[in-house]
Amino acid sequence: MIILKKKKYFIIGIVLLVSIFGLWIWKTDGQYNYNNQKKKVKGVETKTIASKNNKNFIKTNKNFFPIAISSINYIPFKKKNFQELKIPSAHAGAIIDVDSGKILWEKNGSQRRQIASLTKIMTAIVVINKISHLEKEVVTIGDEIYIEGTKIGCPRSGYCNSPRLKKGEKIYALDLLKAMLMNSANDAATALGKHIGGSIEGFALLMNQKVEELGLKNTHFCTPSGLEIDGKEKEGYSSAIDLARIASYSMKYPLIWNIFRIPNAEIYSVDKKFSHKIFNTDRLLNQMAGCLGGKTGFTPLAGRSLMVGAIDRTNKHRIILVLLDDPYRWQDIQSMAEWTWNNYEWK
């Protein structure tokens, strides 16, 4: 009898230890700490900048992006004290709930407009789908070094703070993807597009095949960079709602959103002879609570545009916010996020 009782207590003790350990794992690994968001992002930045090995980058960032624990079972509903949102300075805009796809707000949401570098979100999706090992794929730089606008080494038009790409330089596809998403580099986007599609037109065909697959009715791409083609400016376009859906779909690819969150990095040619500093164009990374990253866009025709992903304080609900042609995009996008959390509840 004594032996049986000892076995019984031993089994109970083991069960309790396993339960406690399981609870600890759930708490530490299964939850995204909203309040320590910046601290975690900083850790990723340090590893990214310090490491010249893209394999380490892929390994480090594989599971960083905070996937919300919600599902389509959670649907956003207007609160009883719901108030309408007005963004007078924006020509178009939209807010959608990522998991349900529900449109929470829109202004001229289906209007076809030029979208500049917001195009690069779709470019990134196609690149990741077409290149299995970005950290190993070598891209040879060609005439895209002469492209207009933002380039690697020149984060703003007329301002260069780092060596530019050289014709014939070989560089890993992952590093070009970083430059394209962080620094909005047109040469990086074009080099990737030509490498995959054989030409700008060939890559645009792949982009538009994805548009058709996603069922988007107000989107057509002409270039991987988002620069308008002279004389064909109106042939490349999208809408605020379509862009919000593209950005929402892009959350299936954690790598895209991990890159969105890196403030700066240094990339290298394959032979390590050349290095290039790149910087993030997103001002909200350290300013907006719950910011998951974003993408900027500007051409004189498209105006100043912005896409941002955000998550609420419960870590259950993600939204995509889009503004097209809004000179006050940074302030307005924050107002849109705050309005959403104050006027919607998920059930």
DSSP per residue over 6-48, as a string?
HHHHHHHHHHHHHHHHHHHHHHHHS---STTHHHHHHHHHHHH
Residues 111, 113, 118, 123, Cα dihedral to 10°: 90
Looking at the predicted structure, is the pLDDT value of residue 96 above 90?
Answer: yes
DSSP per residue over 255-320, as a string?
HHHHHHT--EEEEEBTTSS-EEEEE---TTTTTSTTEEEEEEEEETTTEEEEEEEEE-TTS--EEE
Q: What is the mean pLDDT of residues 69-89?
A: 86
Looking at the predicted structure, is the pLDDT value of residue 236 above 80?
Answer: yes
pLDDT per residue as tens digits for the range 153-171: 887 767 777 889 999 999 9
Cα-Cα end-to-end distance for the chain: 53
**Are the CB atoms for 113 and 290 separated by under 8 Å?**
no
Q: What is the mean pLDDT of residues 79-92?
A: 97
For position 32, what pLDDT does the model report?
Answer: 30
pLDDT per residue as tens digits for the range 287-340: 999 999 999 999 999 999 999 999 999 989 999 999 999 999 999 999 999 999
Q: Is 237 helix (H, G, I), strand (E, B) or coil?
A: strand
Q: How confident is the model at residue 286 (pLDDT cuts 50, 70, 90)?
A: confident
% of the chain residues with pLDDT over 90: 71
The closest alpha carbon to 200, from 223, 176, 180, belongs to 223
% of the chain residues with pLDDT over 70: 79
Looking at the predicted structure, is the pLDDT value of residue 243 above 70?
Answer: yes
Q: How confident is the model at residue 12 (pLDDT cuts 50, 70, 90)?
A: low
Burial group, residue 346, by CB count within 10 angstroms (0-12, 13-18, 19+): middle
Distance between CA atoms of 141 and 143, rounded to whole angstroms? Answer: 7
More confident residue, 65 or 298: 298
For position 59, what pLDDT does the model report?
Answer: 55
Q: What is the mean pLDDT of residues 91-115?
A: 97
For position 305, what pLDDT does the model report?
Answer: 97
Looking at the predicted structure, is the pLDDT value of residue 148 above 70?
Answer: yes
For position 4, what pLDDT does the model report?
Answer: 46
pLDDT per residue as tens digits for the range 189-221: 999 999 999 999 999 999 999 999 999 999 999
Looking at the predicted structure, is the pLDDT value of residue 44 above 50?
Answer: no
**Are the CB atoms for 124 and 177 separated by under 8 Å?**
yes
Looking at the predicted structure, is the pLDDT value of residue 61 above 50?
Answer: yes
pLDDT per residue as tens digits for the range 257-285: 999 999 999 999 999 999 999 999 999 98
Work out the mean pLDDT of the chain and round it to a whole number.
85
For position 27, what pLDDT does the model report?
Answer: 34
Question: What single DSSP character describes residue 233?
Answer: G
Looking at the predicted structure, is the pLDDT value of residue 3 above 70?
Answer: no
C-beta neighbour count of 71 within 10 angstroms: 9
What are the structural domains of the chain? Answer: 54-346 (3.40.710.10)
Q: Tell me how far the alpha carbon of residue 219 is from its chain's centroid.
A: 19
Q: How confident is the model at residue 231 (pLDDT cuts 50, 70, 90)?
A: confident
For position 47, what pLDDT does the model report?
Answer: 36
The kind and range of the H/E element at 202 are helix 200-214
Least confident residue range of 24-33, 107-116, 306-315? 24-33
